[in-house]
Amino acid sequence: MSRTIHLDAPSVGRLEKKYLAKAIDSGYISSIGPFVRDFEERFASYLDVRMAVSTQSGTAALHMALCGLGIGKGDEVIVPSLTFIATVNPVLYVGAKPVFVDVDPHTWNMDPGSVAKKVNKKTRAIIPVHLYGNPCDMDGIMRIARKYGLRVIEDATESLGAKHSNRHTGTIGDLGCFSFNGNKIMTTGGGGMVTGNDEKVLRRIKFLVNQAREDGGGYYHPEVGFNYRMTNIEAAIGLAQLSRLESFLGKKSMFRDIYTDGLGKVPGIEFQAEIRKASSSHWLTCAKFKSGAIASRVQTELKAMSIATRRLFMPLTKLPPYESMASGSFSNSEDIYEKGLCLPSSILNSGSDIRRVCRAIKEALGET
């Protein structure tokens, strides 16, 4: 049997086991413990922001970011149509309305021109998504936000380590949200983080994730909160992973280079484009083929060779919870979804594995 080439499996090994043992030996395994504070501080330092608040998941991070900025009933939030559903579900959690915009056909990210057309008196926020690790045009988005007095929550759940104008994604808007799910660039097994420089907002988020419990002991809860805290065990894994992050990013970048070198000149294959002044984290390298039928055939043939792939996110405007909310054309999102394929990008793979993927794709396309 051929060696399995992984799509997005994590790298967890000796260092993570060492940190886990420390957490267990300390007796702190739940949401109280020194590793949580340490992880938040080191994560904030890595991003060069004033504060980071850990959460139970990336979805929880987005939910708390909306709550922290006071987004709620009657408000509208502009979101891209091409993203994972977790970007938009929290907008409904707080009672607001998601307003969808199409994406740029080259970067696959939110198009600032489309955003500007959707702004009205009810608009309160924009959630740009750095899809598959590729930074959005944050200059364009921030200009619109400043012009209309809108809040910006960056969905950086897939883009840890990516930069725009030498600033980390997740540090440019009012708040940034990250995910540490098992398939992300670094993992805590689950978990997420909210980051930013407005300490007042972030302290409120820290209060809300702990059941809105006031400091000082006792069980006094002046409002409804959430049980969204990260555990000490998760934070221990996060500290180990954070120390390895640069090596993870280096390998992801190497994979992207191998793909573009090996497939960039093959007719009918396009890769997600990066904007000027931006550098992707390359969480997943994805390719767009000439047709959906070709993408399906490539996926089937690679699966038979133990090479894992997956289709892109289905546009949210095609899903039952959001289809009725969609207004306008989302042809770019639909075209990218129909023809796109996520290629193996796990750091468990080697360079030779990725070169094998390139050969297999060319064979599937009859380009050998």
Radius of gyration of the chain (CA): 21
Taking every pair of Cα atoms in the chain, the longest distance, rounded to a whole number of angstroms, is 70
Q: What pairing do the DSSP bridges indicate for beta strands 192-196 and 51-55?
A: antiparallel
Tell me the CA distances in angstroms from 44 to 52, 102, 199, 202, 210, one per residue in order. Answer: 5, 32, 12, 12, 20
Q: How far is Cα 191 from Cα 234, in angstroms, rounded to an integer?
A: 7
Q: Calculate ∠ Cα 227-230-232, nearest 5°.
A: 130
Q: Give residue 346's identity as a one-letter amino acid code.
A: S
Instruction: Please give the helix or strand (H or E) that residue 278 lies within, else none.
Output: strand 278-279
Q: Is 184 a catalytic residue?
A: yes
Instruction: Please give the helix or strand (H or E) that residue 235 lies within, else none.
Output: helix 232-243
Query: Which one from 17, 22, 184, 265 is the annotated catalytic residue?
Result: 184
Determine contact, residues 212/271, Cβ cutoff 8 Å.
no
Phi and psi, residue 124, nearest 5°: -120, -25
Determine contact, residues 165/43, Cβ cutoff 8 Å.
no
SS (H, E, C) 16-74: HHHHHHHHHHHCCCCCCCHHHHHHHHHHHHHHCCCEEEEECCHHHHHHHHHHHCCCCCC
Determine contact, residues 182/10, Cβ cutoff 8 Å.
yes
Q: How far is Cα 24 from Cα 63, in angstroms, rounded to an integer?
A: 30
- The residues annotated with a catalytic role in the active site are 184
